[in-house]
Structure 1
Amino acid sequence: MKNLLLFLLIPFISQAQIVNGIVKDKNSKEGISFLTVAIENSDVYALTNENGEFQFNLSDINEKNIIIDNIYFEPFSMKINDGNYINIELTELSYTLEEMVLYNQPIKKVFEDIISNSEKTLKTNVKINAFYREDYFKNGKKYFFSDGIIDFYIKNKTSKIDAVILQSRVIDSNSDQQLNEIDLEYIAGLSPDEMIEMGMKFNFIKKIIKDKNYDFHVTSKKSGDNELHTLYFEPIPTSTERFLFKGKVVFDDSAKLIYEMDVQFDDNFKQFNKEINILILKIKMNDINYKVKFNYNNNKYYLTYLNQYFDCDVITKKGKNTEKVIGKTELIALGIENTSTFPNKDSIFKKKKLYENGNKFSYEFWNDDLIKNYIK
């Protein structure tokens, strides 16, 4: 996805006005990826791609303000008009060196409160429109690829997030036959609704916070009136449990909101990753990486990005055959809107992988000017 273009996806309408732009670091002149560029006083936003590029496609852009409010850069605002190409340069905030933070209560308790507040603050009774992709490899070769446009419905006071597939496409290396049930079982990972549910409910970090096998410490750094905190965690030296992680969580201690999470296996403890028995197979997990980003803009807090990567060996129980499977699932939240209308049960996607929805598209969405740069 070298030239991945992240944009605001909205229904096509006549006389749409388009604004293209790029966001760069003022000093390095390099593009800034996965940065939210928002229309002020609205739910409308776009995300920059890996090169810092973004695009708005709206019915009315003239005289609107775009704003960028990010924890690592000075705030930015400017008025835009139709046809503008916007070259934005942001000044990185000059933070002090990280200093250890001491609390008058256990860090676990402090962070449980931050998780709880973040979960409560995330918007509910909303529809999140997202681009979703699955990319899998077996023994070093492309196994299958699927992508699509999905609406996720998050209803207040419910634990379930519903996914409705708007468009989907499958590219299968074995086009003459579908993946069998065993394949789907061991490469399944998380379904689309489980992916976004894990992010919005902070399930990964909740389990780690409650686990006795981890050490925690918090640091802070300052830039003027801004103060940024980071929770670091790693396994205790004496632990021999399997699937032990290390990582960090970036958060605002005063607002009690989480902005970023980055979790991966701790290399020093991979030796304890015992095999898992699944049906007639054994799974040896070699690596897992999980990243999620949230944004706070226009006084609204929402999820913008999820990425899950895994590497595993699949072994027959007789040990005669081993296959290496690598998978990457990515979810990019393109737009969010309040809603009081929720899907009926027949339209909700209930299967494990987007792959299983097959080729169901009303137009070649991957060739659309607003989408084609996703597919590289």
Structure 2
Amino acid sequence: MYSQHKIKEIFSEKFVPFVEIYSEKGDLIGVSDINGNISLELENKIYNSKATNLAFVNSSYITSELSIDTYKNSPIISLNRISIELDEVVIMNPKTYKYLKLKGYFRSLQINEDRPHYFIDGIVEFYIFTKSDKIKMRILSNRSFENKSIKQISRTNYFMVAGVPMFDEFTSFKNINNQYNLKTGNSLKTTILEKETDLEKGTIAILDNNSSLQLEIISSLKPKIIKLFEMETHYNNYTINAIYENNDAQKIDLENIIYYKEIRSYDVKRKQKDKFQKVEATHEFYLLEKEYLNELKSKQFDNFYSFKRPSIFEDKYWEKVDNKYFQPLPKLIEKYIEENSKLIEKSKLSSH
């Protein structure tokens, strides 16, 4: 069942899927569905959060911030698409190289019980083996913030997923086509359907000569339950959003990716009698440079989804992100992190 609120693209009849809704405290209240609908459950969460301001976030659209009163009186929330100027495309033959190197800016936010707990951003390099698609990763610089007023599950049991994401297998058309049914209505949109139920799970859309993938892999309707090391985790939501620098849905892969985002949601507890703790996380990657290599210059690599300590940086790299789709964090979230989190000790930049 849905509330009367829908999220629409300004100046068109197109509804915007998977829009994240944040409060001024920085917490992720929820995400709209694939058709831009805000469910009654999400509507209740918005009002129960007692938020005074809301931020609406989607990578392809300019972030919009509204007061709760404006939201109440606006059945249609309109977002303005980011305007993209097309660059010249350089065609390369990756088959002659062993590795594809993607260098970019990453950021990751982990929210525990509706409050930002960990935030990390930095410059990272991915090394993708062209024959096997195996991936290694190296963090070149990072800022790491922690809100120490928020407690973990226990002194010995930590649930931490803030860090650099590993690209999901479904960032490539080949894997999407193997796992899902695809329905092409026209040359500009392909609908992704679950094989067993034919339920709509996402879309691949062509716009401004780029391909945009939005896919809900795990939903609260069918959560994944994991019991491991005396912990029980209910994996309630896993959604990915990726943008590729090509206009052919069948050719989307890591060679063409320019932006990637994950949204994850969990309920976690340590023992049977314990209460579940809600954990949500977002991970983003913005491509800055792409290069093909035959040799790896480094033998030391970092772990994915790992909160790196200490902070290591020299220049303000976060102010120099040269990517068409980059937007700063919503001001509501940025302000909360600044006021409630502490930068973990800074060290001079060192080579890996």
SS in 2 for 1:296: coil
**Pick aligned residue for 1:219 from 165, 184, 188:** 184
Distance 1:319 1:152, change over 3 A: same
Is 1:324 paired with 2:298? Answer: no
SS in 1 for 2:291: strand
Amino acid of the structure 2 residue aligned with 1:194 = M
Amino acid of the structure 2 residue aligned with 1:152 = F
**Pick aligned residue for 1:194 from 143, 166, 169:** 166
Is 1:232 paired with 2:198? Answer: no
* Contact 2:141/2:313 (8 A) holds in 1: yes
Mapping for residues 272-291 of structure 1, pairs under 5 Å: 272-273=222-223, 275-291=225-241
- Aligned counterparts of 1:324 and 1:172: Cα–Cα separation in 2: 17
In structure 1, runs of 5+ residues without a counterpart are: 7-21, 23-29, 44-119, 210-215, 222-226, 253-257
**Pick aligned residue for 1:170 from 124, 144, 147:** 144
Of structures 1 and 2, the larger Rg is shown by 1
Distance 1:236 1:201, change over 3 A: closer
Distance 1:276 1:158, change over 3 A: closer
In structure 2, runs of 5+ residues without a counterpart are: 1-21, 23-54, 63-78, 335-352
Q: Displacement, 1:169?
A: 0.8
Is 1:249 paired with 2:186? Answer: no
Is 1:205 paired with 2:155? Answer: no
- Aligned counterparts of 1:133 and 1:151: Cα–Cα separation in 2: 13
CA distances 1:181-203 after superposition (whole Å, capped 9, x unpaired)? 742xx4438x73622x6355568
SS in 2 for 1:352: coil
* Contact 1:277/1:283 (8 A) holds in 2: yes
SS in 2 for 1:168: strand
- Aligned counterparts of 1:251 and 1:231: Cα–Cα separation in 2: 12
* Contact 1:310/1:326 (8 A) holds in 2: yes
Q: Displacement, 1:364?
A: 3.5
Distance 1:352 1:370, change over 3 A: closer
* Contact 2:107/2:164 (8 A) holds in 1: no
* Contact 2:242/2:261 (8 A) holds in 1: yes
- Aligned counterparts of 1:353 and 1:133: Cα–Cα separation in 2: 11
What corresponds to 1:33 in structure 2? 82
- % identity of equivalent residues: 18
* Contact 1:137/1:325 (8 A) holds in 2: yes
* Contact 2:122/2:142 (8 A) holds in 1: yes
RMSD (CA atoms): 4.5
Is 1:132 paired with 2:97? Answer: no
- Aligned counterparts of 1:150 and 1:363: Cα–Cα separation in 2: 15
CA distances 1:49-92 after superposition (whole Å, capped 9, x unpaired)? xxxxxxxxxxxxxxxxxxxxxxxxxxxxxxxxxxxxxxxxxxxx
Mapping for residues 253-264 of structure 1, pairs under 5 Å: 259-264=211-216
* Contact 2:101/2:126 (8 A) holds in 1: yes
TM-score, length basis structure 1: 0.53
CA distances 1:215-253 after superposition (whole Å, capped 9, x unpaired)? x351332xxxxx33513303644x9xxxx982223479x
Q: Displacement, 1:373?
A: 6.5
- Aligned counterparts of 2:321 and 2:240: Cα–Cα separation in 1: 30
Q: Displacement, 1:272?
A: 4.4
SS in 2 for 1:345: coil
**Pick aligned residue for 2:310 from 350, 355, 358:** 358
Q: Displacement, 1:290?
A: 1.3
Amino acid of the structure 2 residue aligned with 1:344 = S
Q: Displacement, 1:159?
A: 3.0
What corresponds to 1:14 in structure 2? none
* Contact 1:187/1:327 (8 A) holds in 2: no
Residue correspondences, number: 247
* Contact 1:199/1:306 (8 A) holds in 2: no
Q: Displacement, 1:340?
A: 3.6
- Aligned counterparts of 2:183 and 2:56: Cα–Cα separation in 1: 36
Q: Displacement, 1:331?
A: 1.1
SS in 2 for 1:325: strand
* Contact 1:138/1:323 (8 A) holds in 2: yes
Mapping for residues 300-311 of structure 1, pairs under 5 Å: 302-311=256-265
Q: Displacement, 1:295?
A: 1.3
TM-score, length basis structure 2: 0.56
Structure 1 residue ranges, 4+ long, deviating more than 6 angstroms after superposition: 1-4, 175-181, 369-373
**Pick aligned residue for 1:160 from 114, 122, 134:** 134
